[in-house]
Structure 1
């Protein structure tokens, strides 16, 4: 068994085991964990004794809450661009490596799964969620953008769910993630220990025997509105469509969007529209290029301060309104 402070790696039966082991930090990814995951996957790639890979998160609160965004902000404030570049380059290479992995890759998701946590699960073959799974891409709330290949997989979710999730940062719980396409199976938490043992004994085929019937999709009553409003040609048009809809759901969604970084809404919208026609590799390359600019933007530094560091939940965005966001400045980010 290999064991580092924040990642456990071992071989059990015919399965390579990975456990994100940073429960106090909600298993948030640091650079060492990313390197350890990549090293383990490379070592098992051609190993006959390992026929599948199983990744889990330690503790009951989270599978993985994302990347260590606090550390990235600190590096940005210190002018350590090379450290930021290395983190995102290594993380995105891991995401692409999971997507192209030649053996079944199975994620058991119980608890929070956001940002980078989705990155180390959604690109795999099998993503099992319990009723406690909590999926979100909340980046517009910290002045960033949905990354880890999100510009590839979000536009490919049903209808305009991907754009809705990207801009609002809305959370999908449990079986809702299966309906949306972020997870593939729903299994109650109580069955997870038996499921793990069955995967170790019998391989990925065991998952089907544990999958439970899905409860109704909580967003089903709002799908038509989401597809209509978030299919508009610009963020201002999305806001106008929501305002015109006048339903309680539309009003709550509008309130959420108005609290997000206006600049982040604009560049995230542009990123996803471009990603709809690109390969995963091209999407990850575009996202990496964006990190070099966005991590220096005032909204990223302020958003992480307000939501992660000081936790006052009162970010002061620059500019403060969508009307003040310069379309030419957004376009220049993609030049």
Structure 2
């Protein structure tokens, strides 16, 4: 697409690569809008089923928000800046509505601040052994808003609060120990493993993935029983679509006929 964001498509898989090495892959307004456009396109393309988010560097996955660019824009006389993250919010996926397809973070290097939050916005996280994660916003006197909303739900409360309060870095091994990272691999094997998982998911039932993602989001704001009631009454749009789909019938038929199902997303 651009020098900043590039994409590669293999069948129903979209690989999205962030490439701002001069800025440690930090995200500014323009980059966020490009990522938002990219992931909106992924969401709306019925032929795409899985996305991978990675960086072109093995040093920085993403250093978060580009503070230098922001500071330069505030200098008197500087050219006006379009302060719009895009429809998906920071990094394109953090607040993108109806993103009901699996997204995998391929973290090879440092994921700091908004970069850590970007990884948390993905459904699966695979990291290289030398990767690390941190939330240095406290040092800059600001709030890691997405991490403050999500992190304590993904790991023990006291560890999450320590990371938020101190800004310390956590290596990939510790992140895996707390369950934040699915697997930690040598950097030369990382992308191979991520693509292996992406192909596995791409061969799976897209309507079920959509129902899973929406049900999980709904469940965050409701009690268990309220969520179950909505599922049973088909009050969640993707669940209603799934329960009335040809794919659901295909799954039953394939099981009875002892063959692999053919998913059509319909």
Q: Provide TM-score, normalisation by structure 2.
A: 0.67
Q: SS in structure 2 opposite 1:203?
A: helix
Q: Which runs of 4+ in 1 moved over 4 A?
A: 82-85
Aligned with 2:144 (options 143, 146, 149): 146
Question: Is it true that 1:137 corresponds to 2:126 in the alignment?
Answer: no
Aligned with 1:114 (options 112, 129, 140): 112
Q: Provide TM-score, normalisation by structure 1.
A: 0.54
Counterparts of 1:59-208 in structure 2, within 5 Å, are 59-78=57-76, 83=81, 85-87=83-85, 90-91=89-90, 94-97=93-96, 101-147=99-145, 149-156=146-153, 157-199=155-197, 201-203=199-201
Cα–Cα, structure 1 residues 67 and 132, in superposed 2: closer, same or farther, change >3 Å? same
Q: SS in structure 2 opposite 1:178?
A: helix
Structure 2 unmatched ranges of 5 or more: 205-219, 222-266
Cα–Cα, structure 1 residues 171 and 50, in superposed 2: closer, same or farther, change >3 Å? same
1:46 aligned partner: 44
Q: Per-residue displacement from partner, 1:77-104 (whole Å, max 9, x unpaired)?
A: 4498x84853599417741228x52000
Cα–Cα, structure 1 residues 49 and 179, in superposed 2: closer, same or farther, change >3 Å? same
Question: Counterparts of 2:99 and 2:170 in 1: how far apart (Å)?
Answer: 26
The structure where helix makes up a greater share of residues is 1
Q: Per-residue displacement from partner, 1:118-157 (whole Å, max 9, x unpaired)?
A: 222111110111111110000111222213x112113323
Cα–Cα, structure 1 residues 78 and 184, in superposed 2: closer, same or farther, change >3 Å? farther
| Pairwise CA RMSD | 2.9
Aligned with 1:29 (options 15, 27, 30): 27
Whether the 8 Å contact between 1:129 and 1:175 is mirrored in structure 2 is no
